[in-house]
Structure formats: C-alpha cells, structure tokens
C-alpha cells in the first residue's frame, strides 16, 4: 500500500528550539490508563474496541509549543469578568521577532464572543468571554486533493480546554494553522492554570476530498438476521477478527 506524505514545516534555524514539540503520530500519545487496561472474555473492556483504538491512533498530534498561563473568568483591575492569556517564556518575543516563529506573544489573537452569536453552546461554555487562540509554529502540506480535519485529541482530551474543530485544505493553504480554544466552563467556572509546553492540543487527520451522496435503503428481515449473526461468530473480538483493517500513521 502506497504511503501518502503529510509534511510539517518549521522556520529555518529553529529546530533545536522546538524539536521537542514537533508533531508526532497519535500512536505515540495513547494514554497510560488505556495501556493499563486488561481485556478478556470474562471482563471485556474498551481495550478490545478497535474503533476506540483507531480514534486514539488516527493521524498526528500537535503539541503546545510553549508554557502559557491561562486566567479565565477572573475579575480584572476594572472589576469586570475577563480572561488573560500570558506566555511564560522570557524569550518568546525575541523568538517571534528573530525567527518569525508563530507563537503566542503579548499581542494576543482572539475571536470576540459575538462571532459565534448567543445561541452557540460554545458561547455559554466559555462564559461569554472571547475565544483565545493558541498559535502554532508549524505549517502543513498534504498532496493535491487532500485536506486535514483538526479536532481535540480524540478520547484523550484535556478537561480544561479544547480547540474548536475545523477542516483546512492543506494542499493549497500555506500558512500556519492556529487554534481557537474553548475553556471548559461547565467544570471550571473560573480557571487559573498553565498549559504546559508539550501538552497535546490538536489531532490532525488528513483525508481525501471526495463527493458523497446519501441514500436510505431498507434491509429485509433475512438480511437483518444474517447481519446479526455475522458479528456473533466468536465469544470476543468479533469486529477485530472479522472486519477491522489495520491503518498506518507514520
């Protein structure tokens, strides 16, 4: 099977500065709790669910390029509820200016809350405050006809925040892709925390752009019964044994 190539670009002369936060296959970020699970016919667990594993290992992980201090829904010096997003590395401004490294500095990029209107559930979850962006130093290139889906790490997200998902046509778009985030206000009415350098923030899944058309069809009773028994041949791991296909993300 032919491997397609997804390329991650970074500014010249910056490898030694950011190679510890280079994007990696999602396979390298399978959570410890999942690895420790046991799975057997006596105690079946999610460890035996291949769709779950496929979600954990699909695509590539983009990591936080710097420590960022996040203060959300706090009272500012004017006595108003506000958020603050501060970089904590003393050299961030210099790195940005010298190497054109796309990382957060004092001039924050935000999306005003009103851009999502008042009915979007993100608006309420984020406590009706602006959506801050995490800047990302890497640009991405895919083959012609391929785009990338950007989502919070699947089944492995940070409970403090998540990126707003999106699709980018990375075969034509050449800039860095930044990530507006939603603070989990359902769990943290106020939040003062540091998003540590190296924290997984986004899962990147390339896909081929193709046209699709939806069709609804009715199955006969015989087809329904045959379909039921076709997935019950073994006591355990029917899907993995009969239907699952290995995916490669290197």
Burial-class residue 93 by CB neighbours within 10 Å (0-12, 13-18, 19+).
middle
Domain ranges of the chain: 7-242
Q: What is the pLDDT of residue 239?
A: 83
Distance CA 200, CA 182 (A): 15
Distance CA 165, CA 3 (A): 26
pTM over cut 0.75: yes
> What would the pLDDT profile of 146-198 be if each residue is shown by its tens digit?
999 999 999 998 999 999 999 999 999 999 999 999 999 999 999 999 999 99
Q: What is the pLDDT of residue 175?
A: 94
Q: What is the pLDDT of residue 169?
A: 98
Sign of CA dihedral 150, 155, 156, 159: positive
Q: What is the pLDDT of residue 235?
A: 64
Q: What is the pLDDT of residue 230?
A: 75
Per-residue pLDDT of the chain (250 residues; tens, 9 = 90+): 678 999 999 999 999 999 999 999 999 999 999 999 998 888 889 999 999 999 999 999 999 999 988 888 887 766 777 777 776 565 677 777 787 888 888 777 888 888 988 889 998 899 989 999 999 999 999 999 999 999 999 999 899 999 999 999 999 999 999 999 999 999 999 999 999 999 999 999 999 999 999 999 999 988 888 877 777 777 678 888 888 899 999 9
Return the half-sphere exposure (C-beta side, CA atoms, 13 A cut-off) of residue 158. 23
CATH number of 7-242: 2.70.40.10
Give me 80's structure tokens: 């108003």
Q: How many CB atoms lie within 10 A of CB 208?
A: 10
Distance CA 38, CA 110 (A): 43
Burial-class residue 206 by CB neighbours within 10 Å (0-12, 13-18, 19+).
buried
Q: What is the pLDDT of residue 241?
A: 82
């Amino acid at each position: 099977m032919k491997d397609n190539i997804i390329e991650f670009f970074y500014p010249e002369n910056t490898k030694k500065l950011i190679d510890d936060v280079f994007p990696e296959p999602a396979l390298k970020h399978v959570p410890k709790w999942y690895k420790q699970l046991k799975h057997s016919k006596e105690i079946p667990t999610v460890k035996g669910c291949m769709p779950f594993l496929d979600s954990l290992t699909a695509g590539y992980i983009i990591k936080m390029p710097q420590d960022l201090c996040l203060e959300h829904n706090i009272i500012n010096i004017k006595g108003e509820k506000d958020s603050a997003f501060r970089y904590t590395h003393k050299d961030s401004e210099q790195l940005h200016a010298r190497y054109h490294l796309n990382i957060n500095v004092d001039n924050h990029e935000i999306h005003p809350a009103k851009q999502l209107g008042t009915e979007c559930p993100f608006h309420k979850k984020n406590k009706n405050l602006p959506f801050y962006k995490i800047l990302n130093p890497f640009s991405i290139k895919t083959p012609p006809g391929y785009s990338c889906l950007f989502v919070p790490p699947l089944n492995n997200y940070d409970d403090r925040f998540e990126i707003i998902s999106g699709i980018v046509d990375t075969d034509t778009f050449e800039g860095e892709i930044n990530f507006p985030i939603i603070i989990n206000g359902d769990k943290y009415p106020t939040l003062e925390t540091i998003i540590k350098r190296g924290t997984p923030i986004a899962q990147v899944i390339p896909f081929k752009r193709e046209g699709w058309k939806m069709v609804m069809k009715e199955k006969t009773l015989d087809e329904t019964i045959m379909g039921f028994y076709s997935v019950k041949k073994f006591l355990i791991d029917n899907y993995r044994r009969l239907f699952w296909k290995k995916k490669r993300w290197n």
